[in-house]
């Protein structure tokens, strides 16, 4: 079976929802109609499809969905806009404890 898709919706409250499906059109219709009454999007309709990416295997799509759910809003926006350099910058650890940002002890 396949293909499989990971998608990003924008909800009426401007939050993003990340999901996985094998039929984007059907799944979008389910979100729009509130098919699943207890779902995140059911009280945040209407929703708008902003992005989707196709995968040949379900496990690949599920892995990417899980990864995306952990991303910041800024990283999701960079991905959707094809700003891959910005995505790389946002992905770097900028915590002061990161080795890249520690003061040089030798100087």
Does a structural domain hold residue 80?
no
| Rounded-to-integer distance, Cα 90 and Cα 16, Å | 18
Q: For the chain, how many structural domains are there in total?
A: 1
At 9-60, the pLDDT tens digits run 999 999 999 999 999 999 999 999 999 999 999 999 999 999 999 999 999 9
Q: What's 38's DSSP letter?
A: T
Does a structural domain hold residue 63?
yes
Does a structural domain hold residue 11?
yes
Does a structural domain hold residue 14?
yes
Per-residue model confidence (pLDDT) at position 100? 62
pLDDT above 70: residue 106: no
Per-residue model confidence (pLDDT) at position 95? 64
Does a structural domain hold residue 92?
no
Does a structural domain hold residue 103?
no
Q: Which CATH number goes with the domain that contains 14?
A: 3.40.1440.10
Per-residue model confidence (pLDDT) at position 107? 43
Domain interval for residue 23 = 4-71
3-state helix, strand, coil in the chain (%, to 5): 40, 20, 40
Does a structural domain hold residue 33?
yes
Per-residue model confidence (pLDDT) at position 2? 81
């Amino acid at each position: 079976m396949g293909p499989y898709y990971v998608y990003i919706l924008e909800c009426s409250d401007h939050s993003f929802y990340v999901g996985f499906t094998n039929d984007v059109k059907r799944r979008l219709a389910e979100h729009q109609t509130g098919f699943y009454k207890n779902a995140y999007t059911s009280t945040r309709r209407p929703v708008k499809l902003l992005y989707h990416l196709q995968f040949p295997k379900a496990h690949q799509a599920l892995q990417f969905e899980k990864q995306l759910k952990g991303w910041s809003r800024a990283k999701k926006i960079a991905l959707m806009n094809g700003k891959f350099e910005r995505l790389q910058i946002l992905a770097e650890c900028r915590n002061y404890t990161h080795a890249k940002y520690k003061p040089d002890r030798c100087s």
